[in-house]
Amino acid sequence: MTQDLFDLDVGSVRLLLSVVELGSISKAATRHGLSQTSASRRVRELERRLGHMLLDRTTAGASLSIAGMGLLPELRALARATEDLHLSARNQKLSRRPLVSIATTPSVLRHDLPALLVQISGHGNDSLAGQSEFRLESMSTMEVCNAVRKGSVEVGFVDGPDAPLGLSSQIVLRVPLVVVVHPQHRWLRRGSPIDAPELVSVPLLLPRPNSGTRDFVEATLRAAGSQEVLIASESSPEECLSMAAIGPHPAIVRRKAARALVAAGLVLEVETSFSLSQPIRLTWSGSEPSWIDRLGNHLSDEVDQGLGK
């Protein structure tokens, strides 16, 4: 008898409590995903182990017997204790999860970080999925690099043109930028791509200063042989697109950000003779995170195949 109690099936206790609540073995079986036959067998086995008939069974349903009423408080206490144990074990596991602190620029946070975190979480033995929690901070490229240098965050994502000085980094994503103009713009009637000097011969709608995208655009235009960049407006990508749709000035924005307006014919892409593929870098100080190879290999391949557009 004692050994039977040591081996008591708590699942059967919870099933019995459902029978008490619902007044029917059949309904309790449905709640627990069992057949009626299986549920009846489990209740009878519980009765055998306890040495008492716990239910009075009739054609109208089932209710507690006198013995069952006497044992009901202890049965409920056993079910609650099991639930408390499960919750405590779960909370203990959560409390021991390492916290991965990440700093990122606002643009990466808005457009790229969900896909990047999916890859960090990944699958396999070195996966962080279900083992870590992420703390995110949004700041400028310079602030991200300083936070990584000081150790206030473990890693950072930046979108400037160059690798940060004094830190390790790896390109994990390349984001295509495009030049978009009003559908009646004269550049759409030419038969060849525009080059950097011609692009900067007119005022441009560009991202705000000190953003990674702005720094990348200016560095790319200088490398392609342009002169000083003329500025029509320094705004958010959304504002740049709106102004390009109603005015004469070209805008340089992410292709993804322009997709809806291009599909609607409100702005059109202008082909360029030089690449506007902006790198997104993961940067860190000290030892290399174990998941870097998976992150870089997967996402760089996606962009090469056009899936990152």
One digit per residue, pLDDT tens: the chain, 309 residues? 455 555 678 889 999 999 999 999 999 999 988 899 999 999 999 998 888 999 998 888 899 999 989 999 999 998 888 888 888 777 665 555 556 788 998 888 888 887 777 766 654 444 444 445 678 888 888 899 999 999 888 889 998 888 888 899 888 888 899 999 999 999 998 889 998 888 888 999 998 887 888 889 988 888 877 767 888 888 888 899 999 999 899 999 999 889 999 999 999 999 999 889 999 998 998 877 766 665 544 444 334 333 333
**Report field, pTM of the whole predicted structure over 0.85:** no
Distance CA 308, CA 306 (A): 5
Distance CA 258, CA 105 (A): 20
Nearest to 141 by CA among 203, 219, 83: 219
- Between 3.90.1150.10, 3.90.550.10, 3.40.50.300, 1.10.10.10, what CATH number should domain 2-93 receive? 1.10.10.10
What are the extents of the domains in the chain? 2-93, 156-309
- Fold assignment, 156-309: D-Maltodextrin-Binding Protein; domain 2 (3.40.190)
Q: Which two tokens stand for residue 216?
A: 């990348």
Residue 123 has what pLDDT?
A: 46
Residue 152, Ramachandran bin (φ over 0: left; ψ between -120 and 50: alpha; else beta): alpha
Pairing verdict, β 231-235 and 99-104: unpaired
Q: Which two tokens stand for residue 285?
A: 């100080």
Q: Where are the beta strands (DSSP E) in the chain?
A: 55-58, 61-64, 99-104, 133-138, 155-158, 168-181, 204-207, 231-235, 251-254, 268-270, 277-284
For 7, the 3-state DSSP assignment is coil
Is 2-93's fold the same as 156-309's?
Answer: no
Residue 298 has what pLDDT?
A: 42
Residues, the chain, total? 309
Distance CA 55, CA 241 (A): 72
> Please, which residues bridge with residue 171 across strands?
281
Distance CA 49, CA 44 (A): 9
Pairing verdict, β 277-284 and 251-254: unpaired
Single-letter amino acid, residue 72: L
